């Protein structure tokens, strides 16, 4: 039986601790080590399909760096000025001038001993970007971010519910996995809608409430 834990839903932020790694344990361990140790490789490129967790990891790295008071910035489809820890999301969507900025930033970070984490949809050699930039991106550690299995998604959804202040029943999780969209961000968004709806009714999250939400979404399409 679902049980509502709190009356007020807390904010949720992507962190390294709430990232369900699945088959990406090596990448997660490498990122943690790079934050602690400046002597190893600190230039990372991660790639994978939409919804596999790229943005989560990039934002989590910036949050972890800021927690230990390192200058850090997260940018999506743009390139910031050089700082100690930089995360660039959606590199494949950078324009011509932004690609030049990232090429220069890469060299600056490499020389200064900073940390750079870049994400894209494809491996570096398959990106439709400047050749000199894709070469640079391939110099560091390159990881394909593998999507989670249904069992791992179930763990991530349960953890997300707890972080927002409620405990999900297995029935709710399994119904969402069977009938919801396949990518994890969409599944979590459905949980957030269920949370808000159940709170408005002063009821615990349940399969009937989830069905109502999903039916409303279908009618609005």
Residue where a domain stops, chosen among 144, 159, 179 = 144
Average pLDDT, the chain: 87
How much is the pLDDT for 9? 44
Task: Report H helices in the chain.
Answer: 25-36, 54-67, 96-112, 131-137, 150-164, 170-179, 184-201, 207-220
Burial of 154-184, coded b for 16+ CB within 10 Å and e otherwise, reads bebbbebbebbbbebbeebbebbeeebeebb
Element (H, E) at 47: strand 43-47
Report the range of poorest mean pLDDT among 23-32, 138-147, 196-205: 196-205
**In contact, 5 and 167? CB cutoff 8 Å:** yes
Range of the domain at 53: 22-144
Q: Does the residue 9 lie in any domain? A: no
CATH number of the domain within which 160 lies: 1.10.8
pLDDT digits (tens, 9 = 90+) for 40-59: 788 999 999 888 889 999 99
CA dihedral 134, 126, 123, 181 (to 10 degrees): 130
CATH number at residue 76: 3.40.50.300
Residue with tokens 């409303």: 216
């Amino acid at each position: 039986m679902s049980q509502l834990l709190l009356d007020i839903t807390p904010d949720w932020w992507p962190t390294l601790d709430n990232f369900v790694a699945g088959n990406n344990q090596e990448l997660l361990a490498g990122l943690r080590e790079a934050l602690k140790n400046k002597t190893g490789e600190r230039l990372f490129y991660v790639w994978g399909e939409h919804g596999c967790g790229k943005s989560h990891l990039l934002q989590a790295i910036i949050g972890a760096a800021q927690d230990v008071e390192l200058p850090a910035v997260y940018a999506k489809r743009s390139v910031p000025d050089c700082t100690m820890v930089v995360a660039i999301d959606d590199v494949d969507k950078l324009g011509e001038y932004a690609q030049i900025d990232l090429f220069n930033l890469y060299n600056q970070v490499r020389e200064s001993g900073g940390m750079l984490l870049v994400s894209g949809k494809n491996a570096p050699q398959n990106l439709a970007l400047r050749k000199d930039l894709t070469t640079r991106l391939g110099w560091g550690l390159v990881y394909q971010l593998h999507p989670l299995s249904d069992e791992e998604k179930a763990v991530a959804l349960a953890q997300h519910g707890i972080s927002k202040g409620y405990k999900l029943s297995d029935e709710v999780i399994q119904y969402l996995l069977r009938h919801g969209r396949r990518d994890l961000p969409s599944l979590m968004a459905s949980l957030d809608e269920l949370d808000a709806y159940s709170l408005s009714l002063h009821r615990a999250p349940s399969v009937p409430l989830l069905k109502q939400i999903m039916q409303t979404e279908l009618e609005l399409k």
